[in-house]
Homo-oligomer: A and B are copies of this chain.
Amino acid sequence: MRSPLDTSAAQRATAILVSTLKRHSQLSSADERAISEIRPLTSSVPRGKDLVRQGDRPEDSILLLSGTLARYHTLANGMRQYLQLHPAGDLPDLQSLFLQIMDHSLASIEPAEIAFLPHGELRRLILKAPQVGFALWRHTLIDAAILRQAITNQGLRPSTERLAHFLCERYTLVRAMGLADVGTCSLPLNQQQIGQFIGLSIVSVNRAAQRLRKDRCAEIAAGKLTVLNWKRLSARAAFDPMYLHLDLHAPHMRLAGGRLEQE
């Protein structure tokens, strides 16, 4: 499954890692050089495959090069709760670097390309370039901030507002990754899965989505989210992107097609 050492693939991976970390952290050129010395193995996975399972003890952390991954919990009765949706560029199980046992699973939602960053190499990298360590740490802290919002979203918001918030977050994150056109981004989930993210039944997701569509806020169709009116959508969700700790004025946010606040 894992491809043999391939220099160009490794370079692509480290370049993606650098740009992901630069989204929220400053790196010196020495830091970047240190990162580029990692030689990760890369691999392709089809849709719907578990990369890591609850109870596993992984020896590498995953960098997502393309596609979409998601983390989830499974209860004994088989019910599933999705925890986080990871767009390309993300580091979906960095925590396994310091937590031996996986307390959740990680699956591919779309076909994906991934790079395996061996824990040993990561530790060496962090010792050699502490600022890179801080950037990685910050990355895990932003993850935690996103989890906190998910708690509040589920605890306090009724279905339509809850869905709206979920969509706002997704759109903003994909935009931040520089992967979205204006007013639209991929959302490779069916209504069942969206429900498992935000704690709603499939029927409720459907009706909430219809309300958002009828009110010309947003539209979900064919694995794509279309934002019809960002102002209305984000207002409905009471969405404040502060918790994502992104630099919303950074070039990549502007490049991605203009005013996040408007339209």
Contacts and interface: CB of A to CB of B under 8 A. Distances in A.
Nearest to A104: B148
Dominant SS among interface residues on chain A: helix
Contacts of A142: 99
Interface in A113-142: 126-127, 130, 133-134, 137-138, 140-142
B73 A134 contact: no
Contact of A154 (B133, B143, B154): B154
Q: Which of A98, A126, A143 has the most CB of B within 10 A?
A: A98
Contacts of A79: 156
A152 interface: yes
B144 A95 contact: yes
Contacts of A127: 130
Contacts of A126: 130
Nearest to A147: B147
A76 interface: yes
Contacts of A243: 103
Given A98-B137, A137-B137, A156-B75, A81 B144 contact: no
A196 B151 CA distance: 11
Given A73-B152, A151-B154, 13 more contacts: A71-B148, A75-B156, A81-B155, A95-B145, A98-B134, A126-B130, A143-B144, A144-B144, A144-B147, A147-B147, A154-B155, A155-B198, A156-B199
Interface of A: 55, 71, 73, 75-76, 79, 81, 83, 95, 98-101, 103-104, 126-127, 130, 133-134, 137-138, 140-145, 147-152, 154-156, 196, 198-199, 238, 242-243, 245
